[in-house]
Chains A and B, each alone.
Chain A
Amino acid sequence: MTTELEKRGKQEVETTAAEQLQPSGEAYSPDVDIYTSTDAAVFVVDMPGVGKGDVTIMVDETNSLVIRGKNSNNEPENAVVRQYEVGDYYRSFQLSDDYDKDKISAKLENGLLEVTVPMREEVKPKRIEIKA
């Protein structure tokens, strides 16, 4: 069952045709889980082989959240079984105007990147206290 909140969240962060998968050169599209709440959207991105200094996160002029990772994993070429290719990562998502692109935070742990994009203050739900 889809709640109203889920529908709204989906609309706001869904990747659309505008999503560019491979901008230039060799880059892989990493797997991403997306979460939303009334405060923020959280992107959890698989980036095995990427170290802390090798991630770039930016919001471009079209309001797209662009995530890049440079893979520092060095594997020889002569694999007898190869199920994954080693390469850099690229993924982008269209953000709505409700998100505050100046307050994006991120952490990277064991090859897993977590990017938090908060909602702008004026969009966040306000709790109104009832005075006596």
Chain B
Amino acid sequence: MMWDVDVWSEMDRLRKEMNNLFSDFGRSSGTRTYPLINVYDGKDAIIVTAELPGITKEKVHITYANGALTLAGRLEPQTSTKNLTMVRQERATGDFEKTVRIPTKIDQEKINASFSLGILTVTLPKSEEAKPKTISIEAK
């Protein structure tokens, strides 16, 4: 199975992260491709989670086409800070788009997404033919 996450931009991100390795602690890095995602391969579904703190669910567009899931949207600065002077910026801003190729047949009608505490969870149920089958051995 190939889990293909924008290979070239990810390689670029990795290279930058290597460069930052010694000046950078933990998760703070301005060079990664936003948003960061985790993908889980469950028995019945593929689950994709993404960290999108501060965004509202109306601002995230989720599409599934040709075996690929795309998350897109726009990160806007907080309106409460509009008249203030920014002295440090680490958080991502602007438009983002991230595509994950899903190498499993998906029941497109049953894809659903939820958003809680800044974490987006997209559940892509596997189509019947992609689910693991248990074959019982008949006694003779």
Contact = CB atoms under 8 A, between A and B. Distances in A.
Contact of B85 (A6, A31, A78): A6
B65 to A, nearest CB: 19
A35 B83 CA distance: 9
A67 interface: no
A108 B7 CA distance: 34
Contacts of B92: 31
A84 B54 contact: no
B38 A79 contact: yes
A21 B56 CA distance: 29
Interface in A74-94: 75-76, 78-85
A72 interface: yes
For the side of the interface on B, what is the size category? Answer: 35 or more
Given A6-B85, A80-B40, A81-B100, A48 B28 contact: no
Interface in B21-55: 25-28, 32, 36-41, 49, 51-55
A94 to B, nearest CB: 13
B86 interface: yes
Interface in B54-90: 54-56, 77-78, 80-81, 83-90
Contact of A114 (B5, B56, B78): B78
A110 B118 contact: yes
A30 B27 contact: yes
A73 B117 contact: yes
B53 A78 contact: no
Contacts of A34: 86-88
Interface in A15-62: 15, 21-22, 27-37, 42, 44, 46-51
B103 to A, nearest CB: 10
Interface in B80-121: 80-81, 83-92, 100, 115, 117-119
Given A29-B26, A76-B40, 19 more contacts: A5-B85, A14-B88, A29-B27, A33-B89, A35-B85, A37-B85, A42-B81, A46-B51, A72-B117, A79-B38, A80-B3, A81-B39, A109-B54, A110-B118, A111-B52, A111-B53, A111-B117, A112-B53, A114-B78
14 contacts: A28-B26, A29-B25, A29-B28, A30-B27, A42-B80, A46-B118, A48-B51, A48-B52, A75-B38, A81-B38, A83-B32, A84-B38, A111-B53, A112-B53
**Nearest 8 interchain pairs by C-beta:** A111-B118, A112-B54, A35-B84, A111-B53, A48-B118, A81-B39, A84-B36, A34-B88
